[in-house]
Amino acid sequence: MQLANHCTSCQQPLKEIVLEGHYGQRVVADVCGNCHLVWFDAFESVRLSGLGWVGLLREMIATPRAAQTVPRQLQCVRCHGSLKAVRNLTRFGRTAALECGRGHGHYQGFALLLAERGLVRTMATRDLATLHKENTQPSCLNCGAPVDSVPTALSGQTPVCSHCETPLMLLDLPRLTQALLVRHGDVLQLEGQGQQLAVACRGCGQPLDATQDTRCDTCGHVVVMPSLDRVQPLLNQIEPILKGALPRQARPWGHKLQRMRGDASATQWHRFMGHAHDVFSSDSQRLYGKTATVVHVIAALALVFVLYLLFR
Ligand SMILES: [Zn+2]
Ligand SMILES: [Zn+2]
Ligand SMILES: [Zn+2]
Ligand SMILES: [Zn+2]
C-alpha cells in the first residue's frame, strides 16, 4: 500500500479524496484540513465535474477552520522541491497557486481555489451592512479572521484581510450554482423539469432562485454568502440532480424522433445516410472550405484521365 502524502506545511498526513471529473474520470485531491490547503496533481483541478465540486465543497465544509497560517514557502508533496508561486491573472489579482517546477502539481488554499474559478466576489460595504442585519460576524473567506471594517476610501483597490492579506471575498451564489450544474461535459438545464434550486432569503424567508438571484425582489435583502457552510442546503438540492443526469449517449430518444415515429424518413437507414451526409459535408467544409468545389473538379479530371489510360 502506498503511504499517505504529508502536508509540507504542517507535516500531518493529507487526506486523499477521489472526486468525479468530466466524463466520469477519476480526479484525486489531497486535502489538509489543518492548513485549508488542497493539493492537485498537474491539471487535475480543471477536470472536476459539478459532482466533483460538490464532493470537494463537502470536504471543505466538514473541515474545521485552519488553526495556523500557511507559510509562503512550501515544498512539493511528491518531490519536496520548493514550490513556485504562480499568480493567475484573475480579477482578484492574488489568486496564487504554489506549483512544482517539475510538473507534479499545485497547492492552493480553499478560498483561492474557488476564486480562481470565479466562484467568489469581492466584499463591499453593502455586504457588511447586510451581515450586520443578519447578526453574522463577517470573516475572511481565506483565513477565517474576523473583519471589522472594509475601507471605502481605497477606490479601485480591492480591500484585503488585515490578517492574511488576501482580498476579502464572499461566495458568488449564482456563479457557484451554475458551475456546479455541469456533468458529463454538459451544462444541465433546469427549466421545465420542475427542478428549481431555491435558497431562502435571509431577510423574509421567500425562496430565491440560486441560479440567478443576487437580491430578494420581495424585501430587497442582498444574498451574502460569507462562508462555505451556507452552501450546504444548495449542495443537498443539487447533488441528486447531478447524480440523476445521464451521459448524452444514455439518454432516451428525443421528442423530435418521437414525432417522426411511423414516418419513412425516420428509419435507421435514413438516419444513417443523413448522418453520413452531415459528417461528409461538415468534414469537407472544415478541410477545404471554399476550395471543396476545386477539389471535386480535380477528382473528376483525374477519373477521366484514368479512364482514358485504361481504354485508349
Ligand atoms: Zn497542513
Ligand atoms: Zn514536485
Ligand atoms: Zn484572512
Ligand atoms: Zn426577502
List, for residues 41-58, the tens digit of each pLDDT value.
988 888 899 999 999 999
- pLDDT of residue 92 exceeding 80: no
Integer Cα distance of 71 and 52 in angstroms: 28
pLDDT of residue 257: 55
Which ligand is nearest to the Cα of residue 207, counting in written order? Answer: 4
Q: pLDDT confidence of 284, banded at 50, 70, 90?
A: very low
**Three-class SS state of 306:** helix
pLDDT tens, 234-276? 999 999 999 988 877 776 665 555 555 555 555 566 666 666 6
- pLDDT of residue 144 exceeding 80: yes
First to last CA, the chain: 76
Integer Cα distance of 270 and 39 in angstroms: 51
Q: pLDDT confidence of 125, banded at 50, 70, 90?
A: confident
Distance in Å, CA 112 to ligand 3 centroid? 11
Region 120-144: mean pLDDT is 90
Q: Which residue has the higher pLDDT, 86 or 149?
A: 86
pLDDT of residue 156: 58
Residue indicated by cell numbers 465535474: 49
Q: Are 37 and 45 in contact (CB under 8 A)?
A: no
Burial 114-137 (b: 16+ CB within 10 A, else e): bbbbebbbbbbeebbebbeeeeee
Region 169-185: mean pLDDT is 92
Which ligand is nearest to the Cα of residue 76, counting in written order? Answer: 2
Distance in Å, CA 299 to ligand 4 centroid? 69
Integer Cα distance of 5 and 12 in angstroms: 9
Q: Express as a percent the part of the chain with pLDDT over 90.
A: 43
- pLDDT of residue 130 exceeding 90: yes
Distance in Å, CA 66 to ligand 1 centroid? 9
Q: Are 142 and 164 in contact (CB under 8 A)?
A: yes
- pLDDT of residue 228 exceeding 80: yes
Distance in Å, CA 39 to ligand 2 centroid? 11
The three grid cell numbers given for residue 125, joined into one nine-digit string: 460595504
Which ligand is nearest to the Cα of residue 200, counting in written order? Answer: 4
Region 211-222: mean pLDDT is 95
Burial 163-198 (b: 16+ CB within 10 A, else e): ebebbbbbbbbbbbbbbbbbbbebebebeeeeeebe
Distance in Å, CA 205 to ligand 4 centroid? 6
pTM value? 0.75
Which of 11, 37, 35, 16 shows the shortest CA–CA distance to 27? 16
Q: pLDDT confidence of 81, banded at 50, 70, 90?
A: very high
**Alpha carbon separation from 252 to 110, 256, 288 (Å, rounded):** 39, 11, 35
The three grid cell numbers given for residue 195, joined into one nine-digit string: 427542478
Highest mean pLDDT among 4-8, 133-137, 153-157: 133-137
Bin 156: left if φ > 0, else alpha if -120 < ψ < 50, else beta.
left
Distance in Å, CA 145 to ligand 3 centroid? 5
**Is residue 19 packed enough to be buried (19+ CB in 10 Å), middle (13-18) or exposed (0-12)?**
buried
Q: Domain residue spans in the chain? A: 15-116, 120-244, 255-311
Q: Which residue has the higher pLDDT, 215 or 275?
A: 215
Bin 94: left if φ > 0, else alpha if -120 < ψ < 50, else beta.
alpha
Distance in Å, CA 223 to ligand 4 centroid? 9
**Alpha carbon separation from 186 to 130, 183, 228 (Å, rounded):** 35, 5, 25
Q: pLDDT confidence of 166, banded at 50, 70, 90?
A: confident
Region 218-230: mean pLDDT is 94
Which of 41, 35, 1 shows the shortest CA–CA distance to 17? 41
Alpha helices in the chain, H assignment, sequence order: 50-62, 110-116, 125-133, 173-180, 232-244, 255-259, 268-288, 292-311
pLDDT of residue 170: 94
Q: pLDDT confidence of 31, banded at 50, 70, 90?
A: very high
Do you know the residue count of the chain?
312
Distance in Å, CA 217 to ligand 4 centroid? 7
Which ligand is nearest to the Cα of residue 142, counting in written order? Answer: 3
Mean of all residue pLDDT scores within the chain: 82
Integer Cα distance of 299 and 168 in angstroms: 65
Distance in Å, CA 164 to ligand 3 centroid? 4
Which ligand is nearest to the Cα of residue 82, counting in written order? Answer: 2
Q: Which residue has the higher pLDDT, 7 or 95?
A: 7
Distance in Å, CA 155 to ligand 3 centroid? 20
